[in-house]
Structure 1
Amino acid sequence: MSAHLRGIEYYLPSKVVTNAEIDAEFPDWKIDRVAAKTGIMTRHVAGPEEFTSTLAVNAARNLFTSQGVDPKSIDYLILCTQTPDFFLPTTACLVQDSLGLRTEIGAVDVNLGCSGYIYSLGMAKGLIESNQVKNALVITAETHSKLANPTDKSTRPIFGDAATATLVGGDMPSSRLTGFTYGSDGLGGPSLVIPNGSLRRGDQYSPRSNAATRGLETNGYDMYMDGMEIFNFTLRVVPDCVAQILDRTGLTLDQIDYFVFHQANGYLIEHLRKKLGIDESKFAVELSDVGNTGSSTIPIALARAQSEGKIREGSRIMILGFGVGLSWGGAVIEWS
């Protein structure tokens, strides 16, 4: 039995924060310069009573409606998030109940961000191809706005909130998943971290992440990102990851019809595109109105590319995520 991608949908919170609003609040940030580099003009933000489970449920319902999926057909739920509703219970269990899925299914959280969609699809593929399940629901959901310090110029303008839902099934005429490759380097973990709000002292793990050191008044979480270190890490690992995917699939770069990389920021992904020699027409850029939505960036870009006719039956799409962990991973979707 082979695993296939059957459909993707996404959900964005209704509240939108524009660059003009941020500029009015922090004129010294010169938000236009930030936007010129990141390519981000607006971002969606979860409301006070909207949490990761809220976004996840809405994304799944959108998928069920658009694809005509019976919730009772789901055999396993994988929810990828780094912003869970609680330490426990697992957010996947909350979503299972809210969606009315059967109780005779697996439901698990995957604690991973930028590369999390790849890892989650790989888990779904393994469950299906080992004949444990027939249909797996992969959800990505992040509410980064609740963790970023509202006065931090390096994170607030970049991150947005979103959720996506992907149905993965076996032995059916739909898009095949192949060529998975993964990587992890925990030594770089302090470069992207939520230092506060957990059980361990963040300033001991990542000293530069301390809110006071960054000239901030803590909001209890204070997401920290060393942008230059993430940039250098990405340029170091992504070309090798691309080469490994091509080697595992027996394809050449020219045989890939479309590339969907993690939408970290416009400057970074444009740098990668040029470094790899990928034509603009074959490269997804989908962040101007949503920002960096963590594990949701790749499926959002895939869903939009399909709706806009950029990918179609027979297309080979390379997906590749990189970031928090530090971690990375990629695969090829043979679209149908």
Structure 2
Amino acid sequence: MNSHSAVADGPLRVGITGVGVFLPEQVVDSEHLRQRVVASSGVALPAGVFERATGIVTRRVAGPGEYASTLAVGAARDALGRAGLEPADIDLLVFASASRDMVEPATAHIVQAELGSRAHALDVTNACNSFVNGVDLARTMILAGRARRALVVTGETPSRAVRQAPADLAQFRDGFAGYTFGDAGAAVVLEAVDRGGILDVDSETHSEHWSVGGIFGGGSRHPRSEEHTYFRGDGSELRKVFEKVGTSVLDRVRHRTGLSWHHFRYVLVHQVTVPYLERFVEITGVPEDRLVVTVPELGNVASASLGVQLHRVHDALLPGNRVLFVGLGGGVSIMTMVWEKA
């Protein structure tokens, strides 16, 4: 276990000044997905099985010629436009995503080439916590004087790792979590602010559970194995881990900051399925009216989940409104971030 808190207590504060999102146009509903799997595999699946099990009705899916970088670039342009900035105004670009265009070079360079910026560019990858990790890294570099203004982007295309033609029911079950996936891009601009900003960051890591789920191909273990390019994992086991350790992280952040649920305008939590979200509310006591629910419409969009939720409510937030981010990622890691709108 590893826990670290970083609270801005000096004159320099770093805040979020622009939020962007990019969603692919193609929409795939759960019944169409079921029919596609049945037709391609012959596995008998009852009508409505995906929606009943997950609460997911539709998801967006990247089309031909759309990549992780494509979604990230779209979101980046949206965020920059909302912040009133040009690509040349950025001196740090972080591509923070579970998905990527390729193993090498860093996808951040592909995003930067499309934007036309000249910033220091790098990738950050930590499953569904990638985006929050990227925001934390960018904030830290600004506080350290290594950057003045940062752009953190994610482009998630986990639908590319879904097994469309499982060989049998056992293989279908092994990759079932993949059928919750949808694609999306998100981005935020970070820079110094006079008040508010990111007030607290915390994380807890339980790496002994790294093998519970993931996409295990493309690295040195399975460099050229197509079988390992599909997502596989035990969703119930991941849920048990998150339930076991998740509440302690939330208890710590509330104790440390002195903030209770009513102090937060919204609580943004990574959304896997509707039952996961309902269980989160049950065990944490977070009021349902503090949530921004996107999973029935968009599915599990991996690390883009929190950025998409923030984008939904950002323009309605007032100065002084606080938002709690709760990230859940394979590996396993849990992150919290408290942000106050300037």
What is the TM-score when the length of structure 1 is the normalising length? 0.88
- Kindly state the Cα deviation for residue 65 of structure 1 after the two structures are TM-superposed: 2.4
- Kindly state the Cα deviation for residue 6 of structure 1 after the two structures are TM-superposed: 0.6
- Kindly state the Cα deviation for residue 70 of structure 1 after the two structures are TM-superposed: 1.5
- Kindly state the Cα deviation for residue 219 of structure 1 after the two structures are TM-superposed: 5.5
The 1:89/1:201 distance shift into structure 2, 3 A limit, reads: closer
CA displacement 1:227-281 (0-9 Å, x = unmatched):
1111101111211111122233222233223211001111111111121112211
* Pairing 1:324–2:338 present: no
Maintained 8 Å contact 2:34/2:45: yes
* Pairing 1:184–2:220 present: no
The 1:301/1:251 distance shift into structure 2, 3 A limit, reads: same
1-side partners of 2:80 and 2:140: how far apart?
23
Equivalent residues in 2 for 1:68-87 (5 A)?
68-87=84-103
* Pairing 1:14–2:19 present: no
2-side partners of 1:8 and 1:51: how far apart?
20
Maintained 8 Å contact 1:115/1:320: no
RMSD between aligned alpha carbons? 2.0
| Unaligned ranges ≥5, structure 1 | 203-210, 212-217
Aligned residue number for residue 97 of structure 1: 113
Maintained 8 Å contact 2:261/2:287: no
Aligned residue number for residue 55 of structure 1: 71
- Kindly state the Cα deviation for residue 31 of structure 1 after the two structures are TM-superposed: 5.4
Secondary structure at the aligned position of 2:177 is classed as coil
2-side partners of 1:252 and 1:220: how far apart?
43
2-side partners of 1:228 and 1:320: how far apart?
19
- Length, aligned pairs only: 317
Q: Partner amino acid for 1:100? A: G
| Unaligned ranges ≥5, structure 2 | 1-11, 39-43, 166-171
1-side partners of 2:47 and 2:33: how far apart?
7
Maintained 8 Å contact 2:93/2:152: yes
Structure 1 segments, 4+ long, off by >4 Å, are none
Report % sequence identity: 27
Maintained 8 Å contact 1:230/1:323: no
Aligned residue number for residue 313 of structure 1: 319
Task: Decide which of 254, 261, 267 is 2:262's aligned counterpart.
Answer: 254
Maintained 8 Å contact 2:292/2:309: yes
Q: Partner amino acid for 1:286? A: T
- Kindly state the Cα deviation for residue 172 of structure 1 after the two structures are TM-superposed: 4.3
- Kindly state the Cα deviation for residue 220 of structure 1 after the two structures are TM-superposed: 5.4
1-side partners of 2:32 and 2:49: how far apart?
15
Maintained 8 Å contact 2:206/2:332: yes
Aligned residue number for residue 207 of structure 1: none
The 1:31/1:267 distance shift into structure 2, 3 A limit, reads: farther
Aligned residue number for residue 162 of structure 1: 184
2-side partners of 1:95 and 1:285: how far apart?
29
- Kindly state the Cα deviation for residue 335 of structure 1 after the two structures are TM-superposed: 2.1
Aligned residue number for residue 147 of structure 2: 133
Q: Partner amino acid for 2:84? A: G
Maintained 8 Å contact 1:179/1:246: no
Maintained 8 Å contact 1:315/1:334: yes
More divergent stretch after superposition (37-46 vs 251-260): 251-260
CA displacement 1:162-212 (0-9 Å, x = unmatched):
111100101346x5112200122221111112133332049xxxxxxxx9x
Aligned residue number for residue 9 of structure 2: none
